[in-house]
Structure 1
Amino acid sequence: MQETKRYQLTDWLPTTNKEVKIRGWEQLDVILFSGDAYVDHPSFGPAVIGRILESYGLKVAIVPQPSVNDNLQDFEKLGKPRLFFAATGGCMDPMVSNYTASKKRRDKDAYTPNGDKGFRPDYATSVYSKILKEKFPDVPVLIGGIEASLRRVTHYDYWSDKLLPTILETSKADMLVYGMGEQPLREIVELLQKGVPFSSLKNIKQTAVLIDERQEKIPVVNDWEDVTINSHEACLADKKTFASNFKTIEQESNKLKARRIFQEVEGKTLVINPPFPTMTEKEIDGSFDLPFTRLPHPKYNKRGPIPAFEMIKFSINIHRGCFGGCSFCTISAHQGKFIASRSQESVLKEIDKVANMPDFKGYLSDIGGPSANMYQMKGKVQSICDKCVAPSCISPVICSNLDTSHKPLTELYQAVDKHPKIKKSFIGSGIRHDMLVPEFNKNADPKELDAYTEEVMTKHVSGRLKVAPEHTSDPVLKLMRKPSFTYFHKFKERFDRINVKKKLNLQLIPYFISSHPASEVEDMANLAAETKNMGFQLEQVQGFTPTPMTVATVIYYSGYHPYTLKPTKTPKTKKEKEDQHKFFFWYKKENKDWIKNTLNKVGRQDLLKVLLPENNSWQKNKKAKTAKNTFDDAVPFNRRKKKVTRSSSKKRRR
């Protein structure tokens, strides 16, 4: 077992001229600009890209959170790179980082020391790229990360409330890498190192470029099929036309043998090349096995902790991708629907490194991924997956070709807990509860599902288990690509049974969304009544936030479902959203009269009797029993007299 390592400044990628000189470098090969503070950790995309480029033998520096409000010296201080500049807005879309769902500026930025705001500009990738192109017009600029990835084609921008063209147009960048960057970067670097000009790199998989056909031709790739979607101008002219594009975009983003997408944009042609195949176990292990310090750069030592780092400091990511395909979620659009899992050996190697950090106390905060329980799951017959165009492998039902065994994950948890320095490992990522219900997950052995559920509840939960039913209305859930709420009832039955059997006294924490497309006020009233009957009193929940590259966002803007092109109603006004949200808080005095009037108006006295009975002794006696929670957690009412404790909460992975 390795000993605690003492790090030197040169163990991080250089961020200043001084640090470059310490390494004895005269010129850099790549300079990366990031909207996040520099945390050298495999959960932070900019650090991963920097380390990947370094592993190819390149001299790489990173400029974290460059100032855009002065003389722009941060963009010039390291000079010109030999190969290219790279720019990313950071681990989150900067608009999500900077603004709430109600478009109010956030008080904190989780990816900045001390949570300080103001260090990341709006639309950061475009801002950085345009500055670089103005100052160094002859140096290629490559953009990537979640912001670039999800804005690679005509998209609705909630914060400006309008359609925007591909970010390649707004940023003036030369190339865009979408999704996970390891595979396309390897090919780009290999070709550049052979002397191929950057301007010739038009047919690299998992990249996008803008081509002016008046000056150059689109390269022919014999084994690729092409598809043309409606132009940006056509999308601007007609919302239904915009909506019709998305079916093609989503399907091609999640196919193993995808077509190349063309779109006309302001006289040029956007070319989105097909994605690479899902990373192999060896490839993803290689990414996580790079020499990360797992720590923020020492330059931040006196500025305060970085909240996002503190949250994942002792967590382990075991896979990428999500086959849920939820209509409001961007994971599959960025990471893909096919799961890339690390080997148990690689996971244990990282845990050994974490266990030897000087301030590690023996507790892992999370062993998970985009969804906690999709590790090692894939198609049983690969040829079936090769032809699949479905955006979800588990909606409306679980694909019969999907191996949903939880045994490899249960064995991984048990292997982790055998580490001599691990006192307890928690599952902080959201668990797909529906996949633990045999009536829904008919592919799996019920005994395996019970074994996993019991393993999690008895050994990996700190008082509360987080799951995400999202809604109770079947029509809304169908649009969300989530299963019927019936399966949440069945899961709760199993949860309660294990809770009693093992004398655990655990809480079940369900998350819900208001104002989602297709959700009516009456649906929210039903949600409030049904969850109240189940013993839940929801404290904090989530309002739907439209983000680029999701079905729900396309519906929100256009009013049409992109797969059926049928009109679909969505709450859009401030009043509509506030009204839906009020039903989460039926127990608050200030909402009672409004709820009473609203339910009487729609003739739902049955729901009124559930939410506001005349002799509301439950409400009168709740007093201080309600468990208060932190950001984005929905906490059930605890009927027991035992004191409710809090564990640190995590932002939902969406």
Structure 2
Amino acid sequence: MTVQPEFLPTTRAEMEKAGYEELDILLVTGDCYVDHPSFGVSIIGRLLTGCGYRVGLVAQPDWRDPEALKVMGRPRIGVGVTSGNMDSMVNIYTVGRRFRKDDCFSENGETGRRPPHALIVYAQLVRQAFPGIRIQLGGLEASFRRIAHYDYWQDKIRPSVLLDSKADILVYGMGERPTPEVFRRFAADEPLDGIRGTARLLGKKAAEAFDPGDRYLFLPSYEETLADRDALMTATIMVEQEMNFQSGRGLLQRYGDRLLVVEPPPEPLKPEELDRVHELPYARRPHPKYKGRIPAYETIKDSIQAVRGCPGGCAFCGLVVHQGRHVMSRSEDSIMRELDTIAEQPFFKGTISDVGGAAGNIYESRYDLERCRKCRRSSCLFPVPCSSYVCTGKETVRLLRRMRMHPKVKHLYINSGIRLDLALRQPELLREIIEHHVSGHMKVAPEHLNPAVLKLMRKSPAEDFYKFMEVFDQISRECGKEQYLIPLFISNFPGCTEKEMKTVDDFLDRHKWSLQQVQDYIPLPMTMGGAMYYTGKAPDGTPIRVNRGLAERRQQIGVLKKRRSGNAKNSDPARRCWEKGKKR
């Protein structure tokens, strides 16, 4: 294993300190540089360094000046580009298409440190700085924009990000498997075809010579997607159906005489591989050049990621087309080693703020992979739980009890939120969490309460939430704790009119419930919800009502905002508890 520097070099002086005469690979990111496994660019940087490459990193460069990328010279092999941990348009703009007031991935939350459509802008900047260099795109924005997609903020169909960025290749998903292979082939000047988890845009001659056989499916072309709204829904359904790493086929999309080739998804990391990724020698803190706070780091610095992927496949969420629905879990021993590391940090005061991932109750999900081999479902849990998917929660109970025994741990909380459709089938884990791992408030996400909207969202029936409330109250009383639920509801999801939203309003009114979180729906690229928003149709082709402009959306937003804590005039227990928390 190559000896790794404390931080990836960001300047010529840091290169010399690390013993680098030149870089092999330069990474460019739209986030501050935090050397921590919660930040994708740090994982990739550490992984490539472990493969023997000399890797440097430029964070939040001035995208108007190519010189900003030349601080460490021209890299020998190539450049990896990511917009950061979020899609840049989500990061910059609100659902009302206004600028956000802060950026949690920038120092002191300062905005304006990254451009809109950052992948395209950064890739073009790389071309100016280093003509002829090989470029790989990666990260969440690359995953969301790998084919023709709907951009909500511009309100139009955009082509694959490969077209405008002119990058050589795109990696979708988390990238640990394909990225080292991409740079190996960059270095050896080998063809880039056939790397699972990647996409390439072929020129006219290569497109004519490409033989799809039965290994690839044709998506509607870019021109068809521009001309026919329904083509976007067709493509979205096809992408979801081919996300099975065992049987998923590659996808093709024509752009005039050019051809986009999207290879099948890569195999998920095995537990021991995921362990190694999380135990690379991260500094686990922001680069020393930052003197202010980085809000995203403050949120995760005392938390532990235990899983990847999500079995839910919710229509509003992008995980199904990014990480997939196969849940990957770390080993208990690896998690305990990370706990030991956190416990030695100077900031640690005895509280682990979270253990989880997409949810806090999906650890050690099990699959009958033989039965799953040809599965085309987008969700393991909707419309009914699949019998091939098992997650009893017993392993999570064992893990939590082991973590609670750590001599330096005073409090251990689950703040990822939990899946209600699983929790009611995990009685031992549910009791364990409510008795020992709630900080006073517990996050749950029913998202809605109207059956028609829940069906479009691919969420479990409202009865699951009602039953969960009863169980939560009962166990809280039995263990003598004053604890409250923090529910999350979404307004203006496609198919939700004022009539359907009234179901939520009536519920909140009956229970005199204030909300801490208010979320108006944002149509993310390549998600089923985004396709429904754009087409005005459900996946089966049924027309649905879609509120598009702010004037149409305002009424439903108001339903939730009027009950937001601090605005609501009722004095329900949840609000009183929240006020006490503020005073503390």
Give, in angstroms, the shift of residue 564 of structure 1: 1.4
Which residue matches 2:316? Answer: 328
Q: Partner of 1:163: helix, strand, or coil?
A: strand
Residues 86-485 of structure 1 mapped to structure 2, 5 A cutoff:
86-192=80-186, 195=188, 197-198=189-190, 200-215=191-206, 225-300=215-290, 302=291, 304-379=292-367, 381-437=368-424, 441=425, 449-485=426-462
Give, in angstroms, the shift of residue 458 of structure 1: 1.7
- 8 Å CA contact 1:94–1:121 kept in 2: the answer is yes
**Which residue of the other structure, out of 477, 484, 491, is the alignment partner of 1:507?**
484
Matched positions, count? 580
Deviation per residue, 1:550-590 (Å, 9 max, x gap): 111111111123x31232221112122111122225569xx
- 8 Å CA contact 1:38–1:297 kept in 2: the answer is yes
Give, in angstroms, the shift of residue 184 of structure 1: 0.5
Q: Separation in 1 of the partners of 2:460 and 2:531?
A: 21
Q: Separation in 2 of the partners of 1:323 and 1:214?
A: 41
- 8 Å CA contact 2:515–2:563 kept in 1: the answer is no
AA aligned to 2:138 is G
Which residue matches 1:44? Answer: 39
AA aligned to 2:435 is T
Which residue matches 1:56? Answer: 51
Which residue matches 1:82? Answer: 76
Give, in angstroms, the shift of residue 187 of structure 1: 2.4
Give, in angstroms, the shift of residue 214 of structure 1: 1.9
Deviation per residue, 1:52-94 (Å, 9 max, x gap): 111101000000001123x331122222212111100000011
Which residue matches 1:601? Answer: none
Give, in angstroms, the shift of residue 254 of structure 1: 3.7
Which residue matches 2:553? Answer: 577
Q: Separation in 1 of the partners of 2:135 and 2:342?
A: 35
Q: Separation in 1 of the partners of 2:541 and 2:259?
A: 25
Give the RMSD, CA atoms, in angstroms.
Answer: 2.1
Q: Partner of 1:214: helix, strand, or coil?
A: helix
Q: Partner of 1:182: helix, strand, or coil?
A: coil
Structure 1 portions without partners, runs of 5+: 1-7, 442-448, 592-618, 628-635, 649-654
Q: Partner of 1:126: helix, strand, or coil?
A: helix
AA aligned to 1:120 is R
Q: Separation in 2 of the partners of 1:220 and 1:416?
A: 53
Structure 1 567/485 Cα, relative in aligned 2: closer, same or farther at 3 Å?
same
1:23 corresponds to 2:21 = no
When normalised by structure 2's length, the TM-score is 0.95
Find the structure with the greater CA-based Rg: 1
- 8 Å CA contact 1:462–1:647 kept in 2: the answer is no
1:65 corresponds to 2:60 = yes
Give, in angstroms, the shift of residue 221 of structure 1: 8.1
AA aligned to 2:139 is G
Q: Partner of 1:285: helix, strand, or coil?
A: helix
- 8 Å CA contact 2:240–2:321 kept in 1: the answer is yes
Which residue matches 1:529? Answer: 506
Q: Partner of 1:351: helix, strand, or coil?
A: helix
Deviation per residue, 1:144-187 (Å, 9 max, x gap): 00011110000000111100000000111110000011000232
Give, in angstroms, the shift of residue 425 of structure 1: 1.0
Q: Separation in 2 of the partners of 1:385 and 1:472?
A: 31
Q: Partner of 2:58: helix, strand, or coil?
A: strand
Structure 1 22/485 Cα, relative in aligned 2: closer, same or farther at 3 Å?
same
Q: Separation in 2 of the partners of 1:235 and 1:65?
A: 33
1:555 corresponds to 2:555 = no
AA aligned to 1:576 is E
Give, in angstroms, the shift of residue 140 of structure 1: 0.5
- 8 Å CA contact 1:13–1:61 kept in 2: the answer is yes
- 8 Å CA contact 1:255–1:389 kept in 2: the answer is no
Q: Partner of 2:489: helix, strand, or coil?
A: strand
Q: Partner of 1:31: helix, strand, or coil?
A: strand
Which residue matches 2:580? Answer: 644
Q: Partner of 1:11: helix, strand, or coil?
A: coil
Residues 530-545 of structure 1 mapped to structure 2, 5 A cutoff:
530-545=507-522
Q: Separation in 1 of the partners of 2:433 and 2:553?
A: 36
Give, in angstroms, the shift of residue 255 of structure 1: 4.5
Q: Partner of 1:79: helix, strand, or coil?
A: coil
AA aligned to 1:541 is V
AA aligned to 2:42 is A
Q: Separation in 2 of the partners of 1:487 and 1:647?
A: 34
Give, in angstroms, the shift of residue 279 of structure 1: 1.1
Which residue matches 1:594? Answer: none
Structure 1 9/209 Cα, relative in aligned 2: closer, same or farther at 3 Å?
closer
1:565 corresponds to 2:553 = no
- 8 Å CA contact 1:202–1:219 kept in 2: the answer is no
Structure 1 587/390 Cα, relative in aligned 2: closer, same or farther at 3 Å?
closer
- 8 Å CA contact 1:83–1:140 kept in 2: the answer is yes
- 8 Å CA contact 1:94–1:147 kept in 2: the answer is yes
Q: Partner of 2:96: helix, strand, or coil?
A: coil
- 8 Å CA contact 1:93–1:147 kept in 2: the answer is yes
Deviation per residue, 1:413-456 (Å, 9 max, x gap): 1111111111111111011122122xxx4xxxxxxx22211211
Q: After alignment, is 240-249 or 271-280 more displaced?
A: 240-249
Structure 1 104/98 Cα, relative in aligned 2: closer, same or farther at 3 Å?
same
AA aligned to 1:313 is K
Q: Partner of 1:299: helix, strand, or coil?
A: coil
- 8 Å CA contact 1:94–1:124 kept in 2: the answer is yes
Q: Separation in 2 of the partners of 1:406 and 1:91?
A: 29
Q: Partner of 2:390: helix, strand, or coil?
A: coil
Structure 1 216/537 Cα, relative in aligned 2: closer, same or farther at 3 Å?
closer
Q: Partner of 1:532: helix, strand, or coil?
A: helix
Give, in angstroms, the shift of residue 265 of structure 1: 1.4
Q: Separation in 2 of the partners of 1:221 and 1:515?
A: 40
- 8 Å CA contact 1:10–1:19 kept in 2: the answer is no
Structure 1 81/221 Cα, relative in aligned 2: closer, same or farther at 3 Å?
farther
- 8 Å CA contact 2:4–2:50 kept in 1: the answer is no
Identity %: 38
Q: Separation in 1 of the partners of 2:141 and 2:23?
A: 25
Structure 1 217/234 Cα, relative in aligned 2: closer, same or farther at 3 Å?
closer
When normalised by structure 1's length, the TM-score is 0.85
Q: Partner of 1:63: helix, strand, or coil?
A: strand
Q: Separation in 2 of the partners of 1:312 and 1:358?
A: 15
Q: Partner of 2:399: helix, strand, or coil?
A: helix
Q: Separation in 1 of the partners of 2:222 and 2:563?
A: 47
- 8 Å CA contact 1:434–1:491 kept in 2: the answer is no
Q: Separation in 1 of the partners of 2:559 and 2:66?
A: 48
